[in-house]
Amino acid sequence: MIKTFTVINSLTGQPVRFCQCVESDKDLLCAENEHLVEGRQESEVDSQLLLIQFKDLRNSLLAESDWTQFADSPLSDTKKAEWATYRQALRDLPQQYPDAIINDDIIWPTKPR
> What is the per-residue pLDDT across 84-111, written as a single tens digit (0 to 9) for each?
999 999 999 988 887 766 666 788 999 9
Give a yes or no: residue 54 inside a domain. yes
Residue 16 is assigned to a structural domain of this protein: yes
Whether 93 maps to a domain, the answer reads yes
Which three-class secondary structure state does DSSP give residue 2? strand
pTM of this prediction exceeds 0.75: no
Query: Residue 24 is part of which domain span?
Result: 2-38
113 part of a folded domain: no
Strand 15-22 vs strand 2-9: parallel, antiparallel, or unpaired?
A: antiparallel
Residues 30 and 73 in one domain: no
Spatial contact of 29 and 15, defined as CB atoms under 8 Å apart: no
| Rounded Cα distance, 61 and 42, in Å | 26
29 and 53 share one domain: no
CA 47 to CA 97: how far, in whole Å?
A: 14
Identify whether residues 55 and 20 lie together within a single domain: no
Tell me, yes or no, whether 28 and 59 share the same domain. no
In this predicted model, what pLDDT tens digit does every residue of 2-45 receive, in sequence order?
888 888 888 888 888 888 888 888 888 889 999 988 887 766 55
